[in-house]
Each structure stands twice: as C-alpha cells, then as structure tokens.
Structure 1
C-alpha cells in the first residue's frame, strides 16, 4: 500500500523499451508456505531505442530476491540497485542473459494478482501488471518473448500442472513431487502468462480446424463441478467454428485449455492457450445456472477465445491502447452472440446496458476517452468505456464500411500486425488502407470523452415534396476537455408513411431513389439532409439499430411513438419507441409526485403494451423486452437531479397499474408458457430462452396484484421447476412480495438445497440484496454474517455489496446516508485486501453530483473519509481523488 500520492502516467510520454526479451525460461517450485521462482531472460538491446547501454530496469513488487546473475557472473549487492518496485542492472554488452531467483507468497496473496491460491489451487492473473509480482521482468505489453515454463509441486496435492502453449515433458521426482514443462512457440507479453496447479478433473473434446488440424480441448474444474462444463465446451466449439467462418481465423496451438477458478477479480482471462476463468463464467447447468448465466458463459467463452487473434497474436503496444483488443473483441463476441441467439434482442440488451451504465460513466468524474490520455492505476481503466463504448466505435466502422469492407480491413490488420504490439491507430489504418477511405475525423471517437448529443429537427415542403432533417451535434464537457470537435456519427434512418410503409430514400442530387433504410454520415456541428420525392410528411425512424453511441433528441409525441412501436421495421427502434414512451410517462408521474398530486397513468402506455402482449407473431423475447420498463438506474442517469423517492414511487405505480390493467393477458401468457415448461426438457437455446423470459416477466407483474392464484402459481413454479431460471424468478417474486411466511420458507428451502454450491448462493444473496422493500441495509448486514459469505471472494462482494449499492437505489440512497457509510466502510476494508475490487465498488459514490444537495454532502463526506483513512492503494486513491476534484 502507498501513502504518498501515486504518479500519473501519460500516453504522450510513451517510449519504446530499451531492451527486449527473446526467450523467457521459468521454473516454479510450489510449496505450501512459499514459492520459489527461477527466471532466465535471454535479452538484447532494442535497436529502435538508440545507441549505448543504459541501465536495465526490471519491474518487481513484493519479491524477495535470493540471487541475481548477469551472464555467467553472480552479482553482489554492490552490482545492482533494488527498491520496492524495481531491480536495476548494468549490462556490459548488447546481448546477455539475466538469471534471478525470488521467493513469493501466493498463499497470502489476497489481491489475486500475480500467483495466488484459490482454495487449494495455485493460479495466476497477470493482466495488467501482475507478472511483476511473480518475478523481475520488463512487465509491459510491448515486450514480447517466447516462454518455456516448468512447474514443480507435490504430486498428491497438485496432480495437474499447466502453463501456456504445448506440453513438452513431465515426470516424477524422488521426493513425492513431480514436474511438467510447457513451451509456447508464439511470442507474447508477460500479461498473457498463466500457470495452474491443482487437483483438477477435466472434460475433454476436440475440434477439427478448417485446415484439417485436430485441436485438443480441455476444461479443468474442481471435482464437484465436473457436471457443469458441457455448455462451456459446446460454446467453445461454436466459437471456434464461427471465428473461422466470419473472420477466417484458425486456432494455432495443439491444445486449448480453460480452468475454472472460484477466486478471480475479473470474468476471465485470455492467456495464450490456457484461459483462466472465474467459475461463474464457465460453470452452467440447468439446475444451477439461469438462462442469463448460460448466455453469459457462451459470450465470455467466445470473448476469451476470440482474443487469441484480437489480443494475443496482435496485442497492445501500451495499456492506453487497451480498447484495441477489448473493444474489438467485445464487438466480435457481440456478433457471435447475435448469431447464436436473437440479433435484435442482443442489440436491445447491449444498448440498455450501455445507456444505463456507460453513459453514466461518461457523465461522471472518471469519464475518459476510449483511448485515455493518462491514468494512475491501469486496473481502473478496465471500464465500460474501453470495452462497451470501444465496441460501439468498432461497430461504427463496420456500419460505415459494410460487412465486406470491414472483413477486408480486419484481414489486413491481422496480416500486417501478426506477432506485433500495436495501437488503435494501426487498427484504423488497416481499415482505411483496405477500403481507400480517410478516418482522420472518425478517430476523435478514440480521443474525446463524453457521450455526444444529437438534436434532430425536421421540415416538410409539400409543394416541393421535400423532407429535411437537420442534425446538431454537441458533446458535454468532461474532466479531460472542455472543447469538443465534431464527431463522425453514422445515423441509420428510415421514413414511414401514414400507413406505416417504408419510403424509398433519395437525397437531393442523387439520380434515383434507393433502399428504404440508409446510413447518413453526420460530420459537422450542424448538417441538413434533404430527401426528395416525398409525397406527404413522413415519420422518421432515427438511429436504427443504435448505429452510434449518442443521446438522440427528436420531438416525438406519444402517438408517434405508439405508431413506431406498431410499424417500424427495425426491431430495435420498435423497442426504443416503447422505452421513449415509457420515459415520457414516467417523467410525468415523477413530476406529479414531486408536486404532491395524485398519480394518473397515461392510458396510451397501457394500450401500447396491451397490443404488444397480444401480438403472438412477435418473438417472445421481444415481447419480454418491450414489457420491461426503463430501470431506476436509467431514469437516474437521464435526470438532471435524480429524485430517488419520486423515481421509485413512479415506477412502482406504473408496474402495479400495468399488473392490474393487463392481468388477463399476462395470466394467459404465463399459463401457456409455464405449461410448455412443465412438459419440455430444459434446452439452452434461443427459443426456450424467449419463452421463459416472457413467462417470468409476466409472473413478476402478476404477483403485484396480490391475488391468491398468482401466489399459488409462484409457489408451484418455485417448488417444481427443473431449472434455475424459473426457480430463481419465483424466489425473487416471493422475496419482493408481502407474503412474509412464504418468503421465509422459500429462502430457507433454497439455501438448504444449494448451500454447497457457491455460485447459486451468490444468486441467493443478490435476490435479497436487490429487494427494494424497506430494511434493505439491515438485510445486507445480516447476510454478511452468513457462513456462505466471505469478503475475500470477489463474486461474493459483487453478489451482495455490489447488488445492494448498484441496484437497490431506494435503500442505498437512504436519506440518512447509512448506505453511503456502509459502502465506505467496506471500501476501506477491501482496500487492504483487494484494491481492484475496492475501487470497483466505489462507483455509486463517485456519482454524487446526480443527487440533491443533502445527499451530495453525505456522499462527499464518505469519499473524504475514505481518502483520509490511511494507506490507500493506487486503485482507490485514483477513483477517490478524481471524484472529489
């Protein structure tokens, strides 16, 4: 931990490394109370760094140096300099080797960076800068090396010894220990290093690549989880085939391995050939994982596999370029998930998440560009901006170039930079060169923070039969910049006539009318597009498919939104029109509550949703999405000053009104789908996901009626469901109901049945932590005493603390500030245990400017208390200091 102010690192200060590492030879001796790491680095002067032999400065933290050797010379303390972060040597020639031996303590490593123990298993997490906690090294992504790794451990405790690449040897030793050696033939930076040692079972399969090579596939888990791997294996094989078909990318090693780890700060890690996963991102079975968990596993398996090319074979020059691999790979995994499930529903879910969470990040103190200019702690920049907004930036390139042009660009990118560490500029340049375009202005998406706003106005000239759309773009100030230059904003549009039919689009100056949907490229602060041959004033369908991550403003009235809900051919915009209608109605109700008036629901919302509910031709997943009201977090994000109580009261009022007025339709849909569920075996496929989604949202509305037949149906579903999706929904519905006796019995029954399954117990925690009923903080504090909870496990922290502070807004934002004090106490405690998790839990407090003056003062006071609490990690210091700036 650090007490001095940590140092800011700037992109403008980047310099190539003075030295390169051609070969890395590692030997790990694993013991219960320590580990010995022996490293031999075959090094040379970097010819791109200039002449001379400057000092060699190796990164290292929390290492006990036992010996160091430069070529054949064993060095004494006078021959090198060492401090808490670096080992400095003085090479005498341009080519040399460095041998070090260090002692480390993975058994006490609660930060879960570097080499640590998860239960009885040794494992690693080296991204972004964890390798320096393993041995002295040039721990930066632009230093790439070939790794050979030998692992030695007690054979009885650790029969499985894994590392990157292909296995090249193994055998026993005389002392009850054994060894295994792995060789990775591909150059990689240290952040992609991985090691696992444990008593693990394995599910095996194989994959035949498009060139006819046979790749062994293995998923390693602890024995009790061996029956939860098949979905991940199926997902892996689908991913491998999809990447060949869509991107032409073939896997390159003889073996691909996944290991499930219970204690892990992230979702998963793409280490070359040996992916280490949070167990929540790989284990899935109908009885223990929801549909959403199955879809998440499929997406994360795909994401990490796709990194083999977009991240491993071509990696980042420096950590400012993080979105080079993450934004591109999120775009790739989103495309995969869209092809495996419903493209429209996937887009809806991604945009809803982006608008609620990433837009809030853009509007807060931690706002940064997709490629930030500076950071204190890189772990704080594994953000929604880098990942999700970065994906949207790649998606806009795809929209502008088209599928064929984008594929040409990605092919050139992989061909040109295979085996290199490169930049976002290199990615864009490949797209430009492959298609003969200029993306100079477009690159502002990488360098300017904030969510652009796009105000649209219309004008119709009946005599000339022309229709004009004028776009005005702006971007709010962010902590890094006040002045923002115009972006390139691709806006996909359509025009609907009075019958709802699509109009062929012809811009002034064009020879003939074309398609009914097209992309307009908005590049100026104000820009007008004129359509000709328009017989009557149309209704525009704007930003189809959410073609750019902007806040769109157009003066739709409620009748127009209802019309788009019924007629727009773009599924995303049909949903979005419903969301806009709901927002308008909810904001009206919020105003009524604030003025002390009786709440009156606009009947048009009921009419619109009744039409959706009765449309049996519509995909059931779409019906479920359209029935879902905008969440309290999104209503908070779009408020100038968020009134927590008014938002909660208005939204709950609408839910109850819909439950009463749509009861018959909801009940019919619920019963029909539940009947199918009871007679159909669980299948993790789109059609089945859709049926259960509609069934479960219907149940969540129906319970608000309080009718005895709904309670009976909920109990029946809870007690007899053969899958976690239906069981957990029934539990959540009961937890949020007034039926106290039934609720208590269900919670006790669930906990008893799943007490030995940590991931299911995480869901049990989250259901209770997220309940908006009074007494939320007291429930969370009581649950922290439950034997299934430990603050040392990131999944538990996210399930209980994260769910309460991030989702249960009415209880977290209690007027007395008790929720804020609770979170600050937890952050202070976590700061000493796991700084990464501590800093990520801070997000709700960083958005204090969104709230009324009293809450602002309370939230700022807790941030100040954290800042003054003593030894802050760089992770927490950066977030707190920027929040208070």
Structure 2
C-alpha cells in the first residue's frame, strides 16, 4: 500500500486486486440469451443465464455473485420464480444471490441509459448509433453478469429498436430478423444473432444505427466463402476500401504464416466516432475508432493509411490470439495483446519495408515504453496487482509484450516457433489460459528449456547491457564481454538475470566478417556465416570469436533483438562505418541516431556554458556521412528519411537523468539548422526531383518517396528563406493528398519567420473552412496547432477549447488537442512557471467523472515529475496533490496519481 493510500480513511481506499489471490469462479455460464429493447432515453436488457457449479472449484458454491454497475434492476427470477429482496443483496458493484442450486436459469431485467453514459464503456450512444465497448469490465454496465475473462459462454442476442436504426448487429451469425411483435405502429424491428463459439463477456458487441456498408468476400484455405462488411455513417462510405483490402490481406497472411482460418460465416467492422481505444476485437463484430478504419488520400495521411492497415490486422488476428484462445484473468493481458502486436508488426513488415517497420516500432518502444519502465507505473508485462485494469493497457503490456514474443521467435527459429504456436492453439482452443501456458507450448514443441526466459514476464524495468571488447592480433581472436543489469522498479529491487538474445555481426574493412565462435556446438559453424545470435543468460559472459583477421567493428543487437539499453563505447569513426556499410538496416539507422546524439550532446555542452548556438558548426566527417546517405540511390528512401531525422526530444528526455527541457530543445534545433545549412543543396535537389503532381498511392515506395521529400522540406524551412517558404505554401495549396498538405501546414505553423506565420494564419483558416465537416481531418488541424513549438501555444490551445471544432467529450478531440499539447510539446508544456501543469490538472479533474479512462491516460506527463529540476518538480507535484485531493476520484485516476506521488 502506498503512503497516499495509507493516509486515506479505510472506506476511501480503493481495493487492490492481486494475481496471487486468483480463484476459479464458483459458477460457469453454459448459455447467455440477451434481449435489448432500445428506446430513446433508455434500454431494457433481459438476460437469461444458464448457470452451473464449476466442477474445478475447491468447494461447491452456495451463492452467486454477479458484477453490475450503473444498473437499475427491474426484476429477477431463478428457474421461473421471482426472487424477493431477502433472496439477494446489492454491493457497490455486485449482486449476490443466496442459496443457489447446482444448476439453474437466472433471468434478470435491467434498465440502463446509454445516452447518459459518458464513460464510453458498456452500451452508449455515439452520434447516430448505439454501440458497446466491454473490454475490460464494461459488460457489467449492461447487465448483471460474471464479468471475468475465464467465464466463457455461448451467446444468443436479440436487438429490438425503432426502424430509424435499420442496422442491428451483434456477435456471430444472423439467425433471424423481422418486424417486432406487439407493435401496431409497425415502427420497430429486431435481429437475432448467435455466436457458436464460447466467449467471455468482454468480447460481446452490439450496434444499432443508421449505417451504410461496403461488402466483399473472402474464400478461406478450406474453400469456405466468408462475407465481409464494413459499416460506417453514410458520409464515410468512400473511405472504406483501404480497410477492406487490409482485412483480406490479413486473412490471407494469417492462413499462410500461422495456419489460422476464419471460423464464422461473416466478419464485420463498424466505425464509431466516440471510442476510448483504437479498436476492439469482439468476435465477428469488430468495433473501431473511426481513425483506425476510415482512409482516403484527400483526408488521410500516409501514417493514417498505415495505422488502418495495422489496426485492422491486429483486431482480425485476435480472432485466434485472443478470442479462440483468451486470457484467464486480466493479469494475463499481454498473452493476447503482446502476441497479437507481434503478429500485426510482422504482417506490416511483410506488406511494406521490414527495416522501416522495425525502426518505427523501436522508436516507439524506446521513447514511450522505456520511459514507462523508468516511471512510477513500471510493471512487468504480467503485473502482480492493479487497482483499475484499464490502467494496464500500457506500452509495457502491448509493445514490450510484443518484443518478448519476438525474442522467443528469435531464440527458437522460424520453424520451431511455428510448431510452438500451432501447439498452443490446438492445446488451448476454446480456453482461457495464462502466459505460462503459452511459454509451455513453445518449450514443448521446440524442446527448449525456457524457464529462465520467463523472468521477462515477472520482472519490470529495462535491462542494460554493458559491452566491452578486446582483439588479440597474434591469436586472431576477438572477445566480447557482456554484462547485464536492471535497475530496481516498484515491484522488485533485485532482479534475476534475463535470458537475452543478442544478434550481431562483425564488420571489417571489406564488409561482414565470417563468425567462428570458440567452444560453440558443431552445428553453429556454417562456413561463411556472418550473423549469429548470442544467448546471454548470466550476469556476465564472454564470447570469443576465432580466425578474426582484423580488428572489427561490432554490429551489436542487430534488428534490436532485445528490448534493452546498450552501452558500448563506439567512436565516431565506428559509427560512420556502421552507418555507411552495415548489412543490417536497423543498425545503419541506429548508427545515424548515435551520431545525431553525439552532435546534440556537444551542442548541449555549449548551451550549458552560455555559448550561442546560432552558428553551430558540425564535424566535417559527420556531414560527409550524411551527405553520402543522401546520395546513395541503393537505399530505401524511407530509411534515408529516418536516418536524417535526429533523435526526438522525447527520446533525449528519456535518456537524461535530469531533463533540461530548454537545453534539449534548443540544442536539437541548432543541430537541425546546421544540417540544413550544410546540406541545403542536397535537400533542394531531393525536393525538386519529386513529382508533386503524381497520382497518390499508399504503396511502400510511394510513402517512402513522400517521406524523404517532406523531411527535406522540413530542413529547408529552418533556413527562413522567403522562396522556400512560398514553395512550402504552394505545396499546401496544390497537393492532392493529405500527407503533403499536413506536412506543409505543419512547417508553416512552426516556422519562426514573418512570412511563414502570415501564410500559416491564412492556411489554417482555409484548412478549417475546407474540412470542418470531416471530424478526423479537423483532429489533425487541432493537433498541428497544439504541437506548435513557437511561444504562446498554451493560450492558443485554451482558445481552441472554445472553438466549434472542439468537443470536450470526444476522446479523439481530447487526444488531438489536450494530449497533443501536454504530451507532444515539451518546450511549451513546461514553460510559463507551471501554467501547462495547471492546465493539464484542470482537464484531468474535469474528465475524472466524465471519462475516467481518458483522464488517467492524460496523466502521463505529470507522472514523470521526478526527472525534472527541483523547481519543476515542486510545481508538478503540487498539481498531482491537487488532483488526489479531489472528492469522488475515480479508481483509474487515483491509481496513477497515488503511485506517482510515492
């Protein structure tokens, strides 16, 4: 218990849930029959549950405890007999029924009010439709139920509504529909859906609305035809084609790579504008945030197209890794999410550039997840406790969880990993299982002992690898010594060694050197092998390579083979060799990042001494390395764009012991301007060589070309030259796609030059006038202003809260404006003597009762208060204390704030 929790009266202390306390449910549910009578203002839910005692329970259950929240109980009957108030009692979020038999049917009728449900959990109304979000514990806001993932039931759902909602959907296959009975006005109708596959309540879905759809089909590997439908508001029907193509590609890929075939007759996606998450994998009826399904060139950026492809794949892949095999309890969340993120990442890599995808994933991991590992909310991918499970839909569970699956795939190899996943699906189909079950299937199929590897599931924190080397020229032996350590985290001070795959190669003057590892097993040597994976299992190990004819440059952690921080004393010359010649694309990019870091750190030292950064000069060798990359036509243009992009301010902050916001911002900007000046001609050549009138395509090559061109534009705009600013404004006006429009608009908004600011003002007004009826496009308009790096942005953000474009109840709008400023604009968020901190705290307090999930997720910038100067620490801590003092604080917000204040 934290000090903050101890200071609260017992009645106000939220309950902590512990993995060690898990017990199997006393009852299970054979079938669930639901009937929803939807009316304007209220919905009546009838739930008939066929329950029976769990034969695996240690002692026979004699009472039934159901979960429920924000429900009005109209009636309750057991085996047809109405129960009196003496037969049951209410808890805070529960209904306990006394003296229950071994098997029985329970009918409850409840009243809920979806229109008033601002939490966006359970059944709620979004614009023109009713929809649900039940993961993790939203189903209890629909009816009283055993709302836990290890209770799986066969669902039949009937939805009855006014005909102004012509589309009525639920999980499974449609088995009946027609006009409602006892309806003389003939204005109501119904649809009945049956899902033959057992599922927990969190996978339930319902939609009722006036929706249009596109339809396609997919023929599975066994020859079955599956109907595919994507439902949207009629105005968005022209934005669905990319999602449909992504869905078909996902279905084909899952068959080919994992042998997984879709199992129902129909697969449906519904786009919803008000949604806390990105999307939800409900069986057969995926409900998506509109931002993750709608895409067309005029309204969607390249990043948006890629996001749609990845999220569609992710939710489809859950049909097996999450639905057919689900998690026993919420501590096992990464069982489905980490595995599925790995699967969607591999899918995206196969659809585009593998190296580029790896760079994107690692950038996200090292910027956000590493920071999470170092903060107050640090937890293993299988946490031991939580207060509110919604707080554990984290970068650790998802992204680090995926990295752990990637390490398993690396250690086992492609064939054994596939054998392991096949065994996992076959052994546990239709079950709710644990991470141990997953690892056991891989171990059994491969014959590998993965006992030590399971430390990754139980220990938080980012391991650090310290690597030293030596070369014996006479013996032609090269030695690598690797030490691993992991800093203490809230759940564990002393860490056991991890099992870490370290992929590497050795670079000589002519390229990759062959590898001959001393004392290796005979099957290790493959003659001219130039790449291997070392397995680090001890706190310190030395690996010796023989027949090394020259002192090599080690290419360490190729492909980022483990989620660790690597410490090796690379010289600038070493990094230039890696950046120029490494056969591993990821490590070429990593070398460019390390060179960029060195340049920024040099500028920060000058800044600390009070020196002007206006005329910063960069090392000639460094500029030569960047110049050679710009002229290397053999490189993927997307990789060139990434290699030219310096480490972000967020990543620099994550690396710092004490974050100096101004030093980081101004030093990084000075290095960017120095590169712009030195490489101006190259950037002009790249920009002018691009065909600005070409037809848009969301292909990997086309995206890469646009990316490099817009990186060049970003550097050129730093020069403040009027002709370049006008070229940028011309791109804004004349581009035929949102990628180039937004790239130009962002550069105009952020350029510190009078002409640029004048053009930015008129362009922002023009943009809103043109796109005000496209909600997702307006979100981009809000975001580009919230992330403006120029002074006085906070005042502009506050002004935008009163603009017609902003809706303070819509999660997408909140993320674009509030999270965009507080989480994506450090130089302004941390300015003005804590005004940004106060602003964020105000928003969290406002959202605490309205939408606790969104409120808790907004807290992240304040949770990092210990990484800043004492003055900023005091200001940030003051706001956290103001939040914790709020009456009726939600569990979501309380958990994050209380852990942050420890």
Q: TM-score, normalised by structure 2?
A: 0.97
What do residues 27-82 of structure 1 show as CA deviations (whole Å, max 9, x unaligned)?
A: 00001111100000001000000343321000000000000001121101111111
Whole-angstrom distance in 1 between the partners of 2:279 and 2:341: 13
1:694 paired to 2:708 = yes
Whole-angstrom distance in 2 between the partners of 1:36 and 1:875: 28
- 496-505 vs 853-862, which moves further: 496-505
1:630 paired to 2:659 = no
What do residues 239-271 of structure 1 show as CA deviations (whole Å, max 9, x unaligned)?
A: 000000000000000000000000000000000
Query: Which residue of 1 is the match for residue 4 of structure 2?
Result: none
Structure 1 gap ranges (5+) = none
Alignment of 1:338-737 (within 5 A): 338-509=349-520, 512=525, 513=527, 515-599=529-613, 600-603=616-619, 604-673=621-690, 675=691, 677-678=692-693, 680-737=694-751
- Match of 1:369, SS? coil
Residues 618 and 674 in structure 2, CA contact (< 8 A), matched pair in contact too: no
Whole-angstrom distance in 1 between the partners of 2:409 and 2:498: 16
Q: What's the offset of the Cα at 1:92?
A: 4.0
Alignment of 1:217-296 (within 5 A): 217-296=228-307
Query: Which residue of 1 is the match for residue 224 of structure 2?
Result: 213
Query: Which residue of 1 is the match for residue 165 of structure 2?
Result: 158
Query: Which residue of 1 is the match for residue 143 of structure 2?
Result: 135
- 50-59 vs 320-329, which moves further: 50-59
Residues 63 and 100 in structure 2, CA contact (< 8 A), matched pair in contact too: no
Residues 27 and 38 in structure 1, CA contact (< 8 A), matched pair in contact too: yes
Query: Which residue of 2 is the match for residue 821 of structure 1?
Result: 838
- Match of 2:736, SS? coil
1:54 paired to 2:67 = no
- Match of 1:449, SS? coil
- Match of 1:635, SS? helix
Q: What's the offset of the Cα at 1:84?
A: 2.7
Whole-angstrom distance in 2 between the partners of 1:711 and 1:783: 26
1:306 paired to 2:307 = no
Residues 66 and 101 in structure 1, CA contact (< 8 A), matched pair in contact too: yes
Residues 70 and 91 in structure 1, CA contact (< 8 A), matched pair in contact too: no
Whole-angstrom distance in 2 between the partners of 1:722 and 1:876: 43
Q: What's the offset of the Cα at 1:459?
A: 1.0
- Match of 1:772, SS? coil
Residues 342 and 686 in structure 1, CA contact (< 8 A), matched pair in contact too: yes
Structure 2 gap ranges (5+) = 1-9
Counterpart pick for 2:867 among 850, 862, 878? 850
- 598-607 vs 254-263, which moves further: 598-607
Q: What's the offset of the Cα at 1:364?
A: 0.2
- 527-536 vs 506-515, which moves further: 506-515
Whole-angstrom distance in 2 between the partners of 1:607 and 1:766: 36
Q: What's the offset of the Cα at 1:815?
A: 4.8
Residues 456 and 498 in structure 2, CA contact (< 8 A), matched pair in contact too: yes
- 275-284 vs 73-82, which moves further: 73-82
Superposition RMSD on alpha carbons, in Å?
1.1
Counterpart pick for 2:34 among 17, 22, 26? 26
1:64 paired to 2:78 = no
1:750 paired to 2:767 = yes
- Match of 2:65, SS? strand
Distance 1:61 1:792, change over 3 A: same
Whole-angstrom distance in 2 between the partners of 1:422 and 1:128: 16
Whole-angstrom distance in 2 between the partners of 1:259 and 1:522: 46
- Match of 1:48, SS? coil
Q: TM-score, normalised by structure 1?
A: 0.98
What do residues 732-786 of structure 1 show as CA deviations (whole Å, max 9, x unaligned)?
A: 0110112221111100000000000000000001111011101110111111111
Whole-angstrom distance in 1 between the partners of 2:528 and 2:627: 36
Residues 505 and 516 in structure 1, CA contact (< 8 A), matched pair in contact too: no
Q: Matched residue pairs, number? A: 880
Whole-angstrom distance in 2 between the partners of 1:108 and 1:262: 16
Counterpart pick for 1:106 among 106, 110, 114? 114
Residues 62 and 84 in structure 1, CA contact (< 8 A), matched pair in contact too: no
Residues 815 and 855 in structure 1, CA contact (< 8 A), matched pair in contact too: no
Q: What's the offset of the Cα at 1:617?
A: 1.5
Q: What's the offset of the Cα at 1:93?
A: 2.2
What do residues 452-489 of structure 1 show as CA deviations (whole Å, max 9, x unaligned)?
A: 00000001111211110000000001011100000001
Residues 62 and 100 in structure 2, CA contact (< 8 A), matched pair in contact too: no
Whole-angstrom distance in 2 between the partners of 1:628 and 1:92: 65
Query: Which residue of 1 is the match for residue 128 of structure 2?
Result: 120
- Match of 1:57, SS? strand
- Match of 2:559, SS? helix
Residues 27 and 61 in structure 2, CA contact (< 8 A), matched pair in contact too: no
